[in-house]
Structure 1
Amino acid sequence: MEMPKDYNIEIEKKVQKKWENEEIYKFIENSDKPPYIIDTPPPYPTGRLHLGHALNWTYMDIIARYKRMKGYNVLFPQGWDCHGLPTEVKVEEIYNITKSDIDRKKFRELCIKLTEENIRRMREQIKSLGISIDWSREYITMKPDYIKKSQTAFVRMYKQGLIYRGEFPVNWCPRCQTAIAFAEVEYIERESYLNYIKFKGDEKDLIIATTRPELLPACVAILVHPEDERYKDIVGKEFTVPLFGQKVKVLADESVEKEFGTGAVMVCTFGDKTDVHWVNKYNLPVIKAVNERGELTEVAGKYKGLKTEEARKRIIEDLKKEGYLIKQEKIKQNVGVCWRCKTPIEIIVTKQWFVDIKKLLPKVREVVDEIKWVPEHMKIRLLNWIENMDWDWVISRQRIFATPIPIWYCRDCGNIVVAKEEDLPIDPTEKGYKCDKCGSTNLEPEKDVLDTWMDSSITPLVITKWLEDEEFFKKHYPTQLRPQGHDIIRTWAFYTILRSVALTGKKPWEEIVINGMVLGEDGHKMSKSRGNVVEPDEIIEKYGADSLRLWASNSTIGEDVQFLWKEVDYAYRFLRKFWNACRFAKMHIDNIDELKKNRKVNNIVDRWILSKLQKLIEKIDNDLSNYRFNTIVNLYKFIWHEFCDNYIEMVKYRLYEKNDLEAKYTLYYVIDKLIRLLTPFAPHFCDYISEIYNIDNLHFSFPEVNRELIDENAEKYGEIIKNTIVAIRRYKANKGLSLNAKLKEVFIYTEDEDTYKALNLGLEDIKGTMKIEDVKIIKGKPELRYKIIEIIPDKSKIGPEFKKHTKEVMEIIKNADEETLEKILSEGLKTEFGIIRREHIKDVKRALFVEGKEVEAVNIENVLALALVKL
């Protein structure tokens, strides 16, 4: 293949098409290779990928590609978690209907149609990122085969006594009009008022403080701390609730915060989790003051039908009028909201289905410790969540588009009828059944559906063919890896572990890798309201998928990542730089089959790059095995600087003037290994170059370290040769000469034995690279008088004392004579800033006039590599 002159991101589409046609990422069932199965997150199909998806999928793909190259048979599936309330809402918007307007089956069909279209769009977006997914293993939670497994899991857990139905307080979203689990409750800070309200008593009044006066009609008790001296005389006495008239008793409880408000707290059914705890503890009555629509009920009297926010305003106004409101204080509080629509939740009593979490927690804790967590501290986050759990998982939802709960209720005998496994999947609203207790067919179908986490929490079982291929399941479960975001540790990670324990008694995966979120360029979480959202498509269109992937790679696992356009631009320029280097090399590489054969390398510069390359291979290999994706920085530095800027420049003369076979061999060897190292990060670029260079087995062969090529002396000598050439190159640039400008004679002085040896070994490379007719390597230093004309600090190495006063100190050094310089080097530099010692200035360089001619800047610690140039 002929290599185009310029790097063009259009190659990515061609490469993606090739991958798809050849199915090179397909999992081979009967392979001899060890399996590596990734339990991938099934995203909710909104119709578009956001940048957080791109980050997460890039991480997953780097792992998948690396493991594939290391000899594993990788199963990298793609799933779709379809059942969600947003789809129902969107369908209602599109068709201008409500779900109660049409038949359940028809409404579900509309949801399926929308979801299929969204999946199609997102599937193409994932492909555009170059994700190496085995699309033959795609799973979709709304498909009958998946629903069958979800329902089977429900039936088995029910029969084990791990799932039950009961009437209990649950978190309820008035907008979504469905129960939600505690893991789905988010907390936001908002400003509110603490209202001080007077309750009348027979002997004296009592002031309580509350942020929710709209729950006064559901007040069932008042609690105080037993050691609060203010209230010891009223414990057991009754007070009248203002506006609503019910009498409530004062109880003493040690969990009351004496310092908050007045230290007297009203118990309402239900304001928060604490109310639920107290109601159960003291066997208090339950008064339902808020209904499923977030409106006050008939117990609120004239406030019936008002939304809670409006009822709060009206009740506060009336408390003022009646003289019950003593004062108000502004307060900031954390309010629980629905994770989907951000509406403040209510706690109401309804009949729901629950998973009995407490029965499973001991085994869950044990399994959590069996799993390797990356980063390790993410495990603590989950364990803290577990320790604070005091409610069971509510798994029923009051929706339509979801997995049906395979249950009927016998109207004749009251029996709960559970579907038989052989009849699954089944929708009880569409099919009758027979009571297994009394034989009646007079059954009422369950209309509630399963929480979407009940579907997605069995993904490791589904992708290992649970209930489908028992032999395959036994061989491949548990899976090797779960990659996911830290925002769903308490939902997806916890629920998956819980279900795996319940259904298999085992852990779901060997390892779990947790990624962070993407922040905008302003450092804040991406959101439309902030205007800092960047779409993956926008980046790919401008810079290509590989540049986006390289940006994502240069981050730390588990930490949030800030998106910066300049980093994507740098990645693109890096690929263009490497492209140009590969193109140059290809102009001189013809007989590739010959170059693939191992050969002995003698040239010191070749041995230098080969030795450094072996250490790079070892570093990248170790980093990728430990999920340190930001090792890409090591590749950046090596490819851009050592290979492109230095090595290629040092071998050009051998290629042009000598047609040197050893240089060609080394070039091909290095490019082969660098392309393989870069493949997990920038697979499109590497695949294309591999075609140009006829690199074998690219996606299934990671480079191995050749320890015979590691040569410490070659590295040491090569660095000296490189730095000498860099110094002469900089001299040419400073004089306005082209790099190809010929120099007649160069003298290089050194007192260092290793430097002297290195310069002699690299003599021909120095001459050939810098176009010098004659180079003299002289041991010692020149007997010449000179003066400093320029000071060049290496800011990355000089000490902090020097940095602090750089300008002033450099002037002192610049104007010093030779005797003063020697004194500075031995004693340090005494200034008004203090003593600037030798170690603080050792990497400052000076330029000299020698016999009236300007020469290159050299290190002032010795006269190493002083180039005396005669034009």
Structure 2
Amino acid sequence: MMPKEFESEKAESKWYDEWNENSIYEFDRSSDSKKYVIDTPPPYPTGDFHAGNALNWCYIDFVARYKRMRGYDVMFPQGWDCHGLPTEVKVEEIKGITKNDVDRSKFREYCKQLTHKNIGKMKETMGNLGFSVDWSQEYITMDPDYWSKTQLSFVEMYKNDEIYQRNHPVNWCPRCETAIAYAEVEHEKRKTKLNYLDFSLDNGSIEIATTRPELLPACGAVAVHPEDDRFKKYIGKKAKVPLFDQEVDIISDEDVDPEFGTGAVMVCTFGDKQDVEWWNKYDLPLRQAISPQGKLTDLADEYKGLKTDEAKEQIIQDLEEKDYLVDQEEIEQSVGTCWRCSTPIEIISEKQWFVEVNNDEILETAKTVNWIPEHMYLRLENWVNEMEWDWCISRQRIFGTPIPVWYCKNCGDVILAKEENLPINPTEEDPEDKCSCESPEIIPETDVLDTWMDSSISALHVAGWPEEKYKENYPVQLRPQGHDIIRTWAFYTILRSAKLTDEKPWDDILINGMVFGEDGNKMSKSLGNIVPPEEVIEEENADSFRLWAALGGSPGSDIQFKWKDVKAANKFLRKTWNVLRFTLMNIELEKMGNEPEEYNLSDKWILAKLDEVLSKYKKNMDEYKFKESVELVKSFLWEDLADNYVEMVKWRLYGEKDYSAQYSLFKSIDSVLKMIAPFAPFFAEEAFSNYSDGFIHNSLLPDLDIYHGEEAINRGEILRDIVKRIRRYKSNEGIPLNEELKLVDLYNSPSFLKDNVKDIANTIWAKNLSVNEEPPNLDEKVVDVSPDMSYIGPKYKQESNEIVERLEEMELDEIKEKVRSGEIDLSLSDREITLPRDAVIIKKKPYYKGEEVDILEIEGRDIIITVSKN
């Protein structure tokens, strides 16, 4: 006997282990089945699998489970992008050290230990949410096996002149002491002071405005707009920098904004991207005043060693004392910050490794990918069009994939690792080759690769690259990811795929939005509005959380978490459980494999509706429309199956044990379970186990196109509407649904209803039921007269009491006589007869064959129903 209620905790603890023990999600590269490969995001192992992660993985799992049920051999791998800077920062915090306090190998070991611990925590949450990951395809980017692929991609691109090394300005985080990519720079609005300073001239001075007086020692020029009449006379002359006394040229450039500050600005190496452009354009001297540690250098004289904020404060004070500070005003400024620690970045010139960025190549490749939703492509396009520098891929860190090169101490040439020797760590191993000058002295590269160099080959890795057979699975079918990393993970993956394979990395890219709390703000610890997935699982269940994710919004859009939505999802599951339980109690399960020889109209209707739903469901799922898919199934289960079909066939199930009713009911609920299985896997598996062996997730979605099509739907809906209308009538009249009606007549009825009299009568509990194709021929009798109080308004305010008294005195027979003779002009409206002049409502009742009846009309149809209650 099927349990009365779905026990979610029991099902969740049971089925995830069962699925893994039976390897039902393992991908078989050698099989002849259609392949569907997913380039799953490898998250940073923070230990916290938050709601945003969960939304993304829900989308992935919906697709993976659906595709398996359509006959595909699906690869749903899971990777871990371990070389994130946050891991180093967390280790430093936990151990109370910096990365420079211990041996490199020891620090790497600390990072590995923390990473494995965090991976374990995240895998537990993923299991609790029922994600059908193929753990045999798990990869960890800190493992040497994965290193070898990242390093191989470096070697190949280096040989193709797509990777190079040079001294160049880079974005630099003083807190993390490493270069960061342009894509890793966030921008925050912060309050600051705009300082107006006097720069000395041979005769007089020129006033400039700057927010960064600590960069005065780095100043290499003063720039003005060529059409600014205030400064034309100074162009080509020299100005002396206050406090530091270096003389700099006054140059003109159209990029100067005459409206900002005084219209004259200092050009430093480097304050921002504009400075870098002018430095290149005018071949200005490199004056690096800020060190990699965020302190002022020897150029700053007495300010050497001060941190930038300390130096700014001291320099402003000295400028004021020496009368160089003319004025100050508070402004709001967009400040570039490190996306990992929010420290304001600096731009410094360092010898770094770069990947050449070909914007046209990236956009042409991206256009061949199917973007869901389509407009997300524009985010990538806008980002690419903003790119001004090549991708800096070297990082001054320890926990990362080593750059596989050494340098000759004698001549400085690069010695590249051989492909067959990968993976390799230059700080622990020597190269097989020597430099061309044959000097025995070599220096290992201590920098590591940007973590995006690891994750940007994830699609290649899951396809099987660099083995030749990878081409059988490449491009992979799907990349699911958040819109916040389009400019990083999507951008870098497209770039690398184009350079390494001349192909797009995936057919489709499915974008999910961010998760917002019930307060309408993006979930964050600082706002205290985070709802962890574990809390939802404990309060309701995993499947309700997953259904919230499906129903919350469309791909690409942000989604708000609401407890009421989770509870509504759970209510839907309970309803589905109850329908299945009712079905199993009223069928002969062992016979359900044999199709009936004949069907009643109600059976044809429900199966035709099911066929329609299945067709739309598959189309929606193929287009990643999860919300529409679930709503479709939910509507069918609740309205068509539970509220209507079940009620129409109860009499056949209870009394006649009708097989066509049993079969149609079973086919319908079985199909519902299979359609919701991708969204509610624990529930679907537990429900399925009550009537079938094996796993629901190994079964295929049914095809029902053998059934009865549009005519069955149209006719069945007429049948349904008649039953619904009479049941609603009973409810409104307070008549129990199982109480017998004496007589029901249908008028203006289509002839096919004559073949379904028994079905209708037994469903609505009618002792007698007739079907008439003609309109009704009814008598009408006046049964009541009452005041129409709606007419007693301002016009009748003074007379209202008198009118009511007069109406009460009127005899019913007198009114009837006046109505029949036409002496009183009445306005007739359906069964209500209104006498506006005397504010009277006269109510009539229809009679048929001497019996008083109620007339029911079906909305949108011409059929009229008359009902005699007793």
TM-score (norm 1): 0.89
Cα drift, residue 116 of structure 1: 0.9
Asked whether the 8 Å contact 1:195–1:328 carries over to 2, the reply is yes
Counterpart CA distance in 2 for 1:411 and 1:383 is 43
Q: Which residue of the other structure, out of 631, 640, 643, is the alignment partner of 1:642?
A: 640
Cα drift, residue 322 of structure 1: 3.1
State the partner residue of 2:769: 775
Aligned 1:18-167 pairs, distance under 5 A: 18-167=18-167
State the partner residue of 1:599: 596
Asked whether the 8 Å contact 1:724–1:865 carries over to 2, the reply is no
Cα drift, residue 484 of structure 1: 1.1
State the partner residue of 2:276: 276
Q: Which residue of the other structure, out of 535, 539, 542, is the alignment partner of 2:539?
A: 542
State the partner residue of 1:821: 829
State the partner residue of 1:807: none
Counterpart CA distance in 2 for 1:19 and 1:332 is 56
Counterpart CA distance in 2 for 1:323 and 1:292 is 32
Asked whether the 8 Å contact 2:779–2:846 carries over to 1, the reply is no
Letter in 1 for 2:763: T
Tell me: CA distance 1:848–1:732, structure 2 relative to 1, closer, same or farther (3 Å). farther
Is residue 2:488 matched to residue 1:451? no
Cα drift, residue 773 of structure 1: 2.1
State the partner residue of 1:238: 238
Is residue 2:765 matched to residue 1:765? no
Letter in 1 for 2:829: L
State the partner residue of 1:202: 202
Letter in 2 for 1:672: D
Cα drift, residue 220 of structure 1: 1.1
Counterpart CA distance in 2 for 1:549 and 1:728 is 38
Name the SS for the 1:707 alignment partner: coil
Cα drift, residue 93 of structure 1: 2.1
Letter in 2 for 1:502: K
Deviations 1:545-586 (A, max 9, x none): 211111111220111111111111111110011001100110
Counterpart CA distance in 2 for 1:727 and 1:786 is 25
Asked whether the 8 Å contact 1:52–1:518 carries over to 2, the reply is yes
Name the SS for the 1:310 alignment partner: helix
State the partner residue of 2:683: 685
Asked whether the 8 Å contact 1:728–1:856 carries over to 2, the reply is no
Tell me: CA distance 1:136–1:859, structure 2 relative to 1, closer, same or farther (3 Å). closer
State the partner residue of 1:256: 256
Cα drift, residue 296 of structure 1: 2.2
Cα drift, residue 476 of structure 1: 1.7
Q: Which residue of the other structure, out of 337, 361, 365, is the alignment partner of 1:367?
A: 365
Counterpart CA distance in 2 for 1:475 and 1:859 is 58
State the partner residue of 1:398: 396
Tell me: CA distance 1:848–1:88, structure 2 relative to 1, closer, same or farther (3 Å). farther
Letter in 2 for 1:342: S
Q: Which residue of the other structure, out of 611, 614, 619, is the alignment partner of 1:614?
A: 611
Cα drift, residue 859 of structure 1: 6.2
Cα drift, residue 676 of structure 1: 1.7
Q: Which residue of the other structure, out of 508, 521, 528, is the alignment partner of 2:525?
A: 528
* Structure 1, gaps ≥5 residues long: 791-816, 830-846
Name the SS for the 2:208 alignment partner: strand
The answer to which of 857-866 and 713-722 deviates more is: 857-866
Asked whether the 8 Å contact 2:482–2:511 carries over to 1, the reply is yes
Counterpart CA distance in 2 for 1:764 and 1:371 is 57
Counterpart CA distance in 2 for 1:323 and 1:361 is 49
Cα drift, residue 860 of structure 1: 8.6
Tell me: CA distance 1:5–1:697, structure 2 relative to 1, closer, same or farther (3 Å). closer
Is residue 2:511 matched to residue 1:517? no
Counterpart CA distance in 1 for 2:221 and 2:436 is 43
State the partner residue of 1:440: 439
Counterpart CA distance in 2 for 1:311 and 1:292 is 15
Asked whether the 8 Å contact 2:780–2:845 carries over to 1, the reply is no
Taking only the aligned residue pairs, the percentage that are identical comes to: 50
Cα drift, residue 341 of structure 1: 1.0
Counterpart CA distance in 1 for 2:363 and 2:733 is 70
Asked whether the 8 Å contact 1:183–1:490 carries over to 2, the reply is yes
Tell me: CA distance 1:789–1:75, structure 2 relative to 1, closer, same or farther (3 Å). farther
Name the SS for the 1:250 alignment partner: strand
State the partner residue of 1:814: none
Aligned 1:402-801 pairs, distance under 5 A: 402-433=400-431, 435-467=434-466, 469-470=467-468, 472-554=469-551, 555-592=553-590, 594-631=591-628, 632-694=630-692, 698-740=696-738, 742-750=739-747, 752-754=748-750, 757=751, 759-778=753-772, 779-781=774-776, 782-785=778-781
Counterpart CA distance in 2 for 1:187 and 1:287 is 25
Deviations 1:596-632 (A, max 9, x none): 2222443111111111111111111111111111121
Tell me: CA distance 1:286–1:856, structure 2 relative to 1, closer, same or farther (3 Å). farther
Tell me: CA distance 1:823–1:169, structure 2 relative to 1, closer, same or farther (3 Å). farther
Cα drift, residue 492 of structure 1: 0.8
TM-score (norm 2): 0.89
Cα drift, residue 257 of structure 1: 1.8
Counterpart CA distance in 2 for 1:777 and 1:753 is 6
Tell me: CA distance 1:735–1:753, structure 2 relative to 1, closer, same or farther (3 Å). closer
Tell me: CA distance 1:775–1:98, structure 2 relative to 1, closer, same or farther (3 Å). same
* Structure 2, gaps ≥5 residues long: 787-824, 837-842
Counterpart CA distance in 2 for 1:297 and 1:81 is 36
Paired residues, what number? Answer: 815
Counterpart CA distance in 2 for 1:615 and 1:463 is 36
Asked whether the 8 Å contact 1:172–1:346 carries over to 2, the reply is yes
Tell me: CA distance 1:697–1:8, structure 2 relative to 1, closer, same or farther (3 Å). closer
State the partner residue of 1:225: 225
Tell me: CA distance 1:853–1:325, structure 2 relative to 1, closer, same or farther (3 Å). farther
Cα drift, residue 510 of structure 1: 1.7
The answer to which of 47-56 and 26-35 deviates more is: 26-35
Asked whether the 8 Å contact 1:721–1:758 carries over to 2, the reply is no
Tell me: CA distance 1:581–1:320, structure 2 relative to 1, closer, same or farther (3 Å). same
The answer to which of 855-864 and 5-14 deviates more is: 855-864
Cα drift, residue 226 of structure 1: 1.2
Tell me: CA distance 1:7–1:282, structure 2 relative to 1, closer, same or farther (3 Å). same
Asked whether the 8 Å contact 1:605–1:762 carries over to 2, the reply is no
Cα drift, residue 855 of structure 1: 5.1
State the partner residue of 2:821: none
Counterpart CA distance in 2 for 1:311 and 1:414 is 36
Name the SS for the 2:690 alignment partner: helix
Tell me: CA distance 1:706–1:239, structure 2 relative to 1, closer, same or farther (3 Å). same
State the partner residue of 1:798: none
Counterpart CA distance in 2 for 1:789 and 1:427 is 100
Tell me: CA distance 1:445–1:605, structure 2 relative to 1, closer, same or farther (3 Å). same
Counterpart CA distance in 1 for 2:852 and 2:524 is 62
Deviations 1:710-746 (A, max 9, x none): 4333322322332332233233333444333x12313
